[in-house]
Amino acid sequence: MSWLDEIRFTEDGLIPAIAQDSTTGKILMFAWMNRESLALTVENGYAVYWSRSRQKLWRKGEESGHQQKIVSIQMDCDEDVLLLKIEQEGGIACHTGRESCFYRQLIGNEWQVIETVLKNPDKIYQTML
């Protein structure tokens, strides 16, 4: 049995993956992985996810240059969630130009932005134009 066979993927063959900064412990983002993306991640040492909206593999940083180098991969006790401890290249994980995708916090009864933009997304993705 392969290590991949020990994972409980969803009916559509996916598993949730949380990316956490290996040094600070800060949660940077959440994404989905399938068998192929997880195998490629382990093989190459950089995060590869499955994009549900585009229905294709998504190599983190392929457009922005902000790759995620894998430090370790852990699985939860139910075998249905992965924790990727990573080194975030460029210090930006979010497509909005912020360190983390979790940049809004519920304060009282409204969502407030608690992280600043480190780099304008137009400048990050200008090579795509």
Over residues 8-34, the pLDDT tens digits come to 999 999 999 999 999 999 999 999 999
Residue whose structure tokens are 């399938």: 34
Residue whose structure tokens are 């969502």: 111
In a domain, 67, yes or no: yes
Q: What is the pLDDT of residue 119?
A: 93
Report the number of secondary-structure helices (H) and strands (E) in the chain.
2, 8
In the chain, what percentage of residues exceed pLDDT 90? 91
Compute the distance between CA of residue 2 and CA of residue 77 in angstroms, rounded to an integer.
18
In a domain, 106, yes or no: no
- What 8-state DSSP symbol labels residue 38? H
Q: What is the pLDDT of residue 129?
A: 42
Closest CA to 83 of 22, 23, 36: 22
Q: Which domain holds residue 74?
A: 3-95
State pTM to two decimals: 0.91
Residue whose structure tokens are 């949730």: 16
Q: What is the pLDDT of residue 125?
A: 84
Q: The CATH number of the domain where 67 resides is what?
A: 3.10.20.810
The count of domains in the chain is: 1
In a domain, 105, yes or no: no
pLDDT at 45 over 70: yes
